[in-house]
Amino acid sequence: MDSWIPNPRAQPFVPRRYHGGGGYASGIHFSQIRSRRFITKIFQGFLVIVLMGTLMINIMFIMDTSKKLQQDPQKDYSTDIQHEMPEGMENLNQGPRRILEKPKTLAVEVVSSRNKVSVGVDGTMILEDDEVEKNRGIHILVLHQGTGSVMAKRLFDTYSAHEDEAMVLFLKMVSDGRIIIFTVKDEGSFQMKTTARELLKSLGSDKAQVIGWRDMWAMVTIKGGAKLGESHSKSADLQSWGSPILLKADIPLRPVEETECDWPQSDVNERRRAFCSKIEGYGSVCSCKDPAPLEFFPAPLADNRVHDVPVAVIASDRPHYLYRMLRSLLSAHGVNPSMITVYIDGYFEIPLEVAKLFGIRGIQHTPIGIKNARISQHYKASLTATFNLYPDAKYAIILEEDLDVSPDIFSYFSQTLPLLAEDESLYCISAWNDQGYEHSCKDASQLYRVETMPGLGWVLKRSLYKDELEPNWPTAEKLWDWDMWMRLNENRKDRECIIPDISRTFHFGATGVNMNSYFQDLYFKKHSINTLPHVRLKNVESLKKDNYEELVNTAIAGATLLDHSKSPCEESFIPDTSDVTYVMYIKMNSMNDDNWKQLAKCFKLWDLDVRGFHKGMWRLYMKGNPLYIVSVPISPYAKYKPADVTPLYLPAPTKPQDSKGNKR
C-alpha cells in the first residue's frame, strides 16, 4: 500500500441506491415517509379551516357594527363591548376607546389674579400671562364648540378709555354657539361702562354689574347658550386686589358637522369656510344665513393711470384693523386687487388668513429691530419687496392697516400722478392733510403743496427710493421714526408733497407702538375724509412749482386782512361769512417757533409740531372761508403784510409751580 498512487482520471465513488423490490428494510422506510406526508396534509387542512372561520367571524362582526352605527350613530358601542369582556380584562378596551371616540367635554381651569392669568384645557395651557405690571385688563378666549380649538385671543385694557367699546364690538362679532372664556388681570373695571356690563350680563354673568376696582373675575359661557361657570373676588379696599381665583368648568362639545354652515360651493366660499373654521370675531363673514360679501364690484375708472401701480399695505399683528382696511380698499373705485400685497411684520397667522380671505397676497417676513426701529425696518423691507416684485413699476402706493380709504382714492392718485412724473420739485403725492379736520377743510377738489411728508397713504417714486432712500435708510440699531427721517431736508432736499384739502384716508387705529385711544381721540378722530365717489380735481396744473407760486401770490395779495387787534382764540376772530378769502400774519423767527403750536391749539389743529406748511405759510378753511396764515418775517409772502399790522404772537402758557418754585 505504501507504493499506491491515486488515479487522477478516476470517477468519484457514489453509493448505489436501491429502488423497488427486494429488501425488508427498504419497505419499512417507504411506509414511514407516506405516513408523515399524510399527517402534514391533515394539519394544513385544519389550519385553513381555522383561518376561514376567523375571517368569516370578523366579516360578520364588521357588518353588524356598521349596521348598528347606521341605525344609531350617537350610541356608545364601546360600553357594550366592555360588558362582554371577561372579568379582569376591562382596561384592555381603554386604548382603542380613546382612538375611536372624541371626548364629549373639556375640563377647563381659569385663573384670575393681580399678576397672572391662565387658561388650561384638559391639562394643556392655552393662555398663560404672568408678566408683572403688563397686559392689564380683560383677557378673552373664544373656543370652537365642536373641536375646542382656540379661534380668537384678545386683550382689552378696560382700565383705559374706549377699550370697553372695543370689547363690546368684538363680542358682538363672535358667532352664536362659540365658547367664550373671560379672565381679569390686575384691573379691568375702571372704564367698563354700562353698555359693556349689560352685554356681559346678557352672556350669562351674574357679577357684571358688581365687578369693581381691582376685583378678580372669570367666566366661561356659550354665546347664545348657557353659562358654564363664573367666579368673582372682591378687593377689600382701593389699595388692594381681590384674592386670586381658580374657576373650573366642564365644556360640552357638539358634533363638528352641526357647527358648519352649508354655503354654496364656490371659490369665495371655500376661502370663507377655511377662515371660519379656525378664526372668530369677524361678524357676518361667518354667518350661515346671510354671510357678508367678500367680493366687491366698484366702478372702474376711465383713463386709470394707477391701475397697474402696486399697492403695498403695511401690516403687523392687528388683523381686525387689516380686515376693516381691506374691505374699504376693495370697495374703492378703480381698485385692482391683483396689484395689492399685504406685508406682515412677523409670522402672525391671523393677518395672513385675513389677506387670504379676500384673495389678496400676503407676505410675512422676520422682524428686525425693536420699537420704532422695527417699524422702520418693516417699511424698508416692504418697499424693497414691492419694487422687486414689480420690476417695471415706476411708482408704488403705500397704505397702512389702520386706514380707511375714500371711494375716490385711486381717482385722486390717478389725477395727480402726472405731477409727480413731470415736476422734479415734488417729493410725493399724499392722500392725507395733517390740518384737514372737520372744521378746517371744505373743498374735496382743492390741492395744496406742503414741505412736510404727511404719509398715511402716499405715492412713492421708484427712482427716489432706489437712488436716494434705500441706500441711506436708517439701520436697525437706530430707534428712528421712518417718516420723521423722510421729512429731514437732507432727504427731502427742498422738494414738496401734494396733499388734498379733504383727506382721502382716515386713521382709525387706537392701538400701536406710538398710538393709544386718548391720542386717537385728540388728534385723529375728528379728521375729515372725502365720501364722494367721483371728484374732479380742479386746476391740477396749477400745482406745478411756478404755477403754484403765481396762484399763492395772487391769492394773498387780494385776500381780506383779519382784525389783528383780536386774539385768534376768540370765536369772533374769523367772521361769520362764507367763501371769503382771508389772510393773517403770525410772528415766527424760525419754523421751530412755538407760536404756530399755540395758534394751532386755538384753532384745534395739529399742535405737536410744525407741519403742513409751504414756505412758512399755511392754507386751510375756517368757518367755510379760505384762510392763509403767513409767518413773519421768514415767509416770502410776508411782503404782503401792511406796515401798520403787528404780527400776532401767542405766548405759551406758564407752567404752574410747586411750593419750592419748581415748574410742574
Catalytic site residues?
402, 483
Sign of torsion over alpha carbons 513, 516, 522, 528 = positive
CA–CA distance, 177 with 144 (Å, rounded to integer): 8
Task: Classify residue 648 by its DSSP letter.
Answer: B
Task: State how beta strands 105-112 and 245-252 pair.
Answer: antiparallel
CA–CA distance, 307 with 445 (Å, rounded to integer): 21
Q: Which helix (H) or strand (E) holds 271?
A: helix 267-276
CA–CA distance, 304 with 307 (Å, rounded to integer): 6
What own/partner pairs with CB < 8 Å and gap ≥ 24 does 571-575 have? 574/622, 574/623, 574/625, 574/627, 575/623, 575/625
Contacts of 323 (CB under 8 A, 6+ apart): 282, 354, 357
Q: In terms of Cα–Cα distance, which of 402, 328, 319 is closest to 151?
A: 319
Report yes or no: 588 and 632 within 8 Å, Cβ to Cβ. Answer: yes
- CA distances, 128 to each of 118, 124, 125 (Å): 4, 11, 7
Backbone angles phi, psi at 356, to 5 degrees: -60, -35
CA–CA distance, 406 with 198 (Å, rounded to integer): 35
CA–CA distance, 385 with 341 (Å, rounded to integer): 10
CA–CA distance, 503 with 430 (Å, rounded to integer): 9
